[in-house]
């Protein structure tokens, strides 16, 4: 195993739960100068809104969470969501070049990880294939919350692996402090000659400052461009020159406009936004994806007593999504998704000691694939769900229980597959149930113990049921099976958390047992030109979705060593380790499971200055499925520094960042393109954010 940091990180992670003398660092509310810690609370003190109907600190949630915000988010943003989050514990990515990358949580991705924009579905096609981009741009977001482990109760069975919630300013809940407030960001990188620029503006309209109410007009926009990436050595692409990953340029832009009403007891808003991106697909020279989404989002939040309830919140999203796969400029395949997502939560006051929320969610999406790669029939998926979340606090124990009942219908149109099979119209109608139970036990002011048990039923998707056609993005001819049963899972998690002291952190173990796990398995047969209308010169591996019992298990450990903490001066050392193993029951390993990962980071702050370095070490992966290639280990070294300049009206954050300083050849094992598309080589980035 190529793993230079393994011993160091194991030692650090173990010490995160040691009973060290109390040496509590200053909290984010301490009277630091604004440029010290105000945007980066200590580990486990961040408030999280994604894992529970009520905002809770990370230490007070059953699920394991990570929050990326403030300077850490500003300096570590990548062109895709998956790569922005890939260094976090338990997170990997589907890396398909800089244009497309979706998060994988604990080895689970696609239809088992829910990616949200302000708590509503992204309503794109990123869960159907790794070459399809997530329709969320990380550039202007406020924070990203990652919830690892079963989160199906609030967000549906597609969240059995976890949830990634991208939160921005588009639907405001507070008046700006003055008539105007906003940010402007710009950055440039030498690798691929990339640049990005954008900003947001909030305008207070007819505000009543005494009542803290009024209207807020929100505007934002961004532009990002980059050429082909530079990589170490030869990428593995046929005919590609040394040091270049061809066909990886990205050209993205987006904008939004919205109006919100805010007050202490009631907020409501509506936003219209658009996102366009044109990016190359590394495994298809000359092929680009032209993605376009137009979306309307709405929200309403009421705080006040009515009956047994203390408030209500509603969120709504409607999107018209389309991407066209262009081969030398000609449209080969068009994929469209017209979708709507709506959820309503009623916050319940205490009844017999229990408080929580009742909720309703409904969603509908029409997905169509037309052209050379029409591997799916046009089909409409509609669902409706009722869910309940309850919490009981007794002395030092907080009990949490929940349940969700979901009904899902799929209506598929008649379909003639490229392989020559004609299908009549088909339908699939199912009702599933999910439930969870757990507790958080405060052992003492320093330690908390959290455990949970979650049962989830997931109905198969239209792709798993009805696929029959070529999918060049994964170099496969996919075949589904309408006879699949529901996928059942039982998840256990145990976490010990140290919330204060010289060292803070957590140590978590988890097991997820699946009855009827659905995944795509190669048959070993190559499809010839007669069955491959999309690209007759290309041989595709025939794959079938199969259903097998499977077991996922692993551990995560993270420790923050507060080496120095005085007013305006801090020095923190972070050590982290995560591992996931997954295999069929009494069978082979599952494909594309992330290898062991460790991280070591040192961060220093003094007044307006900050600097840091981080080392991410990935082990080799020899636990592979039949026919899957192994990947070697690698280490990514990065460093950065920044300075905050505060003037009377504007705060400027300047930063520089260097990534992959050793120019390591890094192959992402969870990527379909690991043999031909390494991560970017050495890169230097500089940028500035102005906040007013």
- pLDDT tens for each residue of 127-168: 999 999 999 988 889 999 999 988 767 888 889 999 999 999
Q: What average pLDDT score do residues 472-482 get? A: 88
Q: Please report the pLDDT score of residue 570 as a whole number.
A: 95
Q: How confident is the model at residue 44 (pLDDT cuts 50, 70, 90)?
A: low
pLDDT value at 526 more than 70: yes
Least confident of 50-54, 477-481, 544-548: 50-54
The DSSP H or E segment spanning 465 is helix 462-466
pLDDT at residue 528, rounded to an integer: 65
| Mean pLDDT value of segment 452-459 | 96
pLDDT at 531 over 90: no
Residues 84 and 64: their CA atoms lie apart, in Å, by 19
Q: For residue 6, is pLDDT > 50?
A: no
* pLDDT at residue 85, as a whole number: 96
DSSP conformational letter for 356 = E
Tell me the CA end-to-end span of the chain in Å, nearest whole number: 49
Residue 153 near residue 106 (C-beta atoms within 8 A): no
Note the pLDDT tens digit of each residue in 479-501: 999 999 999 999 999 999 999 99
Which pLDDT belongs to residue 2?
Answer: 40
pTM reported for the whole predicted model: 0.91
- List Cα–Cα distances, 317 to 50, 160, 223, 320, 568, in angstroms: 17, 22, 23, 10, 42
Say whether pLDDT at 540 is over 90. Answer: no
Q: What is the number of alpha carbons within 13 Å of residue 154 lying toward its C-beta? A: 30
Q: For the segment 364-377, what is each residue's pLDDT rounded down to a tens digit?
A: 999 999 988 889 99
* Mean pLDDT on 554-559: 97
What average pLDDT does the segment 466-491 reach?
91
Confidence grade of residue 451 (pLDDT, cut at 50, 70, 90): very high
Q: How confident is the model at residue 568 (pLDDT cuts 50, 70, 90)?
A: confident
| Domain architecture of the chain: domains with CATH | 6-691 (2.40.170.20)
**DSSP, res 123:** -
- Lowest mean per-residue pLDDT among 11-25, 594-608, 628-642: 11-25
Residue 328: the pLDDT is 85
Share of the chain above pLDDT 70, in %: 92
Cβ(570)–Cβ(36) under 8 Å? Answer: yes
pLDDT > 70? residue 3: no
Model confidence at 14: pLDDT above 70: no
Which pLDDT score, from 0 to 100, does residue 45 have? 62
Q: Residue 249: its pLDDT value, please?
A: 96
Q: What is the pLDDT of residue 35?
A: 35
Name residue 512's beta-bridge partners.
491, 552
Calpha distance 267→120 (Å, rounded): 17
Q: So what's the pLDDT on residue 538?
A: 66
Bigger pLDDT: 372 or 439?
439
Q: Which helix (H) or strand (E) holds 177?
A: none
Average pLDDT, integer, range 449-476: 92
Residue 633 backbone dihedrals phi, psi, to 5 degrees: -80, 160
In this predicted structure, the answer to whether residue 28 has a pLDDT above a threshold of 50 is no
Q: Rounded to an integer, what distance in angstroms lies between the CA atom of residue 386 and that of residue 433?
A: 10
The model's pLDDT over 87-134, given as tens digits with 9 standing for 90+, comes to: 999 999 999 999 999 999 999 999 999 999 999 999 999 999 999 999
**Mean of the pLDDT values across residues 445-471?**
95
pLDDT of residue 443: 96
Going by pLDDT thresholds of 50, 70 and 90, the confidence category of residue 357 is very high
Q: What is the DSSP letter of 131?
A: T
Mean of per-residue pLDDT scores for the chain: 90
Contact yes or no for 379/411 (Cβ under 8 A)? yes
The residue with greater pLDDT, 297 or 540, is: 297
């Amino acid at each position: 195993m190529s793993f230079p940091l393994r011993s160091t990180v194991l030692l650090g992670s173990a010490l995160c739960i040691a009973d060290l003398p109390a040496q509590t660092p200053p909290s984010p509310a301490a009277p630091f100068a604004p440029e010290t810690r105000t945007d980066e609370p200590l580990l486990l003190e961040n408030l999280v809104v994604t894992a529970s109907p009520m905002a809770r600190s990370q230490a007070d949630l059953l699920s394991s969470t990570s929050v990326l915000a403030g300077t850490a988010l500003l300096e570590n943003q990548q062109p895709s969501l998956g790569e922005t989050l890939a260094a976090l514990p338990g997170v990997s990515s589907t890396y398909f070049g800089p244009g497309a990358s979706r998060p994988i949580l604990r080895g689970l991705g696609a239809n088992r990880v829910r990616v949200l924009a302000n708590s509503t579905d992204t309503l794109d096609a990123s869960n159907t294939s790794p070459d399809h981009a997530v329709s969320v741009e990380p550039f202007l977001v406020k924070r990203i919350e990652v919830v690892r482990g079963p989160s199906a109760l609030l967000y549906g069975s597609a969240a059995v692996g976890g949830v990634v919630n991208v939160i921005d300013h588009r639907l405001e809940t507070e008046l700006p402090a003055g008539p105007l407030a906003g940010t402007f960001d710009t950055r440039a990188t030498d690798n691929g000659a990339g640049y990005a620029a954008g900003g947001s503006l909030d305008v207070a309209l007819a505000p009543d400052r005494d009542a803290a109410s009024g209207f807020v007009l929100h505007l934002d926009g961004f532009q990002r461009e980059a050429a082909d990436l530079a990589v170490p050595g030869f990428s593995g692409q046929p005919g590609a020159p040394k040091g270049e990953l061809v066909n990886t340029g990205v050209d993205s832009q987006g904008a939004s406009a919205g109006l919100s009403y805010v007050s202490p007891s009631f907020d409501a808003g509506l936003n219209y936004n658009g996102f366009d991106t044109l990016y190359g697909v590394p495994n298809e020279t000359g092929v680009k994806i032209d993605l376009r989404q137009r979306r309307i989002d709405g929200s309403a939040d009421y705080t006040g007593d009515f009956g047994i309830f203390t408030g209500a919140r509603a969120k709504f999203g409607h999107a018209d999504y389309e991407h066209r796969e262009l081969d030398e400029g000609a449209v080969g395949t068009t994929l469209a998704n017209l979708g709507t997502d709506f959820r309503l939560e009623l916050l319940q006051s205490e009844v017999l000691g229990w408080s929580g929320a009742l909720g309703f969610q409904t969603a509908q999406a029409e997905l169509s694939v037309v052209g050379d790669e029409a591997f799916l029939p046009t089909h409409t998926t509609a669902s409706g769900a009722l869910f309940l979340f309850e919490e009981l606090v007794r002395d030092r124990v907080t009990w949490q229980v929940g349940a969700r009942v979901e009904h899902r219908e799929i209506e598929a149109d008649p379909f003639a597959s490229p392989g020559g099979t004609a299908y009549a119209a088909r339908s699939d109608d199912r009702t599933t149930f999910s439930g969870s139970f757990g507790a958080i036990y405060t052992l003492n002011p320093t330690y908390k113990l959290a455990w949970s048990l979650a049962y989830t039923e997931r109905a198969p998707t239209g792709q798993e049921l009805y696929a029959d056609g070529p999918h060049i993005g994964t170099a496969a001819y996919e075949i589904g099976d309408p006879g699949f049963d529901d996928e059942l899972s039982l998840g256990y998690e145990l976490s010990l958390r140290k919330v204060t002291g010289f060292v803070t952190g957590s140590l978590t173990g988890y097991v997820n047992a699946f009855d009827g796990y659905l995944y795509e398995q190669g048959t070993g047969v190559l499809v010839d030109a007669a069955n491959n209308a999309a690209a007759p010169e290309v041989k595709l591996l025939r794959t079938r979705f199969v259903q097998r019992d499977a077991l996922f298990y692993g551990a995560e450990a993270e420790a923050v060593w507060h080496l120095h903490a005085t007013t305006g001066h801090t020095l923190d050392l972070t050590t982290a380790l995560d591992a996931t193993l997954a295999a069929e029951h009494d069978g082979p390993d599952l494909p594309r499971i992330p290898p062991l990962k460790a991280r070591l980071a040192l961060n220093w702050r003094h007044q307006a200055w900050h600097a840091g370095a981080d080392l991410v070490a990935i082990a080799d992966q020899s636990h592979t499925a039949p026919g899957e290639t192994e990947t070697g280990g690698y280490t990514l070294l990065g460093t950065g520094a920044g300075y905050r300049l505060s003037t009377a009206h504007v705060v400027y954050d300047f930063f520089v960042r260097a990534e992959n300083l050793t120019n390591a050849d890094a192959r992402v094992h969870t990527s379909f393109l690991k043999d031909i598309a390494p991560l970017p080589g050495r890169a230097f980035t500089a940028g500035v954010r102005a906040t007013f």
